[in-house]
Amino acid sequence: MKKVFALSIGLMMAVTVFGQSIKVTPALKKGLVKTYSVTTTATATGQTVTMNVDHKYTITKETPDGYEMTMETTDFKSDGDGENLLSRMASLSEQMLNGCKVQLRLNKEGKVLSIINYEEVKEKTQATANKLIDELFEAAPEISQVMKKEQLQEQLNNEISPERLTQSMTLSSSPLALFGRTITSGMQDTYDNNMLTLKRIWLVTGKKIGASAKTDMSREDLKAFILKQVERTAPQQAAMIKENIDTVLDSGLLKIDISEKSNYELDDDLWVKSMECTTDSDMMGQKSGSVVKIQLKN
């Protein structure tokens, strides 16, 4: 009898949790300001760098269709010493982000629709991306044996499309990630992370929302992804890779595995109060990871 009772309670709790749903429509009005403190700890190639930055979001205009918002990045600091590639990348990120203003167009529910000053943001992003590539080839000159610097620069510049840059404003580690969305416990969806597809499942408990995601790629998906990247960055190697790709896949050398866990706590006005996002990546034997923590300051 006790077991039946305990099972009944467990089932009731499961139904309660998995039945919960929330529509994230944050309070928005002209003049509203929200400031977040963001701490990112990134690990790659055996090195770790911690970066701290403030993001200030200001609703600058109400329109018939929604709102306009400015995101300004200030007070960027990192503990990178400039002696390794990861530290130099953090330094370049500081140059790109510090004082940067991005103007966003939102719908009435807060969903980010587009970047208003796209050309300005694109120009700054391109300049920083090209500097990062210069740093990469300087730190690892052997890369030039399989691809040319100009090919990688062209590929990255082509990826800075309006859609890609807008998507970058609503990644899992952004306080804007949930705006305009209806989240239900047990709901599954897919999304792109750095041109890879991840499958994600959600859990809602009151104003706390959790999400867990992993790469969702079949063998054919992985094969197509790798061949596409090789054709774009090292076309001279494409024929050889295509001929031997099944053998290489069987060896496990081309493993691509990304996992991500995010936890959000919403404030009473449905803006994010706090958030933590942990990402681990294994890209062809190169392991990296990051932990992003966000806290509302005001």
pLDDT of res. 115 = 95
The Cα–Cα gap between 160 and 226 comes to: 20
Whether residue 9 lies inside any domain: the answer is: no
pLDDT at 208 over 90: yes
Whether residue 262 lies inside any domain: the answer is: yes
pLDDT at 14 over 50: no
Mean pLDDT confidence for 255-277: 94
Percent share of the chain, pLDDT over 90: 40
| Overall pTM > 0.75 | yes
Q: What is the DSSP string of 184-239?
A: ETT-EEEEEETTEEEEEEEEEETTEEEEEEEE---HHHHHHHHHHHHHHH-HHHHH
Whether residue 11 lies inside any domain: the answer is: no
44 vs 87: which has the higher pLDDT:
44
Residue 94: pLDDT band with limits 50, 70, 90: low
Of 40-49, 52-61, 260-269, minimum mean pLDDT range: 40-49
At 193, which CATH number? 2.30.230
pLDDT at 253 over 80: no
State the total domains in the chain: 1
The Cα–Cα gap between 82 and 89 comes to: 9
Q: Which two tokens stand for residue 81?
A: 């010493």
Residue 57: pLDDT band with limits 50, 70, 90: very high
- Classify residue 143 as exposed, middle or buried by CB count within 10 Å of its CB (0-12, 13-18, 19+): middle
The Cα–Cα gap between 270 and 287 comes to: 35
Domain around 201: 18-296
Q: What is the DSSP string of 127-154?
A: HHHHHHHHHHHHH-GGGGGT--HHHHHH
**Dihedral sign computed on CA atoms, order 19, 213, 105, 26:** positive
Whether residue 134 lies inside any domain: the answer is: yes
Encode pLDDT of 186-202 as tens digits.
Answer: 999 988 766 678 899 99
**Dihedral sign computed on CA atoms, order 14, 207, 294, 56:** positive
Whether residue 76 lies inside any domain: the answer is: yes
Residue 15: pLDDT band with limits 50, 70, 90: very low
From start to end of 14-100, where are the E strands?
21-23, 33-44, 47-63, 66-78
pLDDT of res. 160 = 79
Whether residue 234 lies inside any domain: the answer is: yes
Scanning the chain, the segments in alpha helix (DSSP H) are: 2-18, 85-97, 118-139, 149-159, 162-168, 219-233, 235-251
90 vs 16: which has the higher pLDDT:
90
Residue 99: pLDDT band with limits 50, 70, 90: low
284 vs 122: which has the higher pLDDT:
122
Residue 12: pLDDT band with limits 50, 70, 90: very low
Whether residue 270 lies inside any domain: the answer is: yes
Whether residue 8 lies inside any domain: the answer is: no
Mean pLDDT confidence for 118-125: 87
Residue 215: pLDDT band with limits 50, 70, 90: confident
The per-residue b/e assignment along 191-221, b for 16 or more CB within 10 angstroms, e otherwise, is: bebeebebebebbbeeeebebebebebeeee
pLDDT at 7 over 60: no
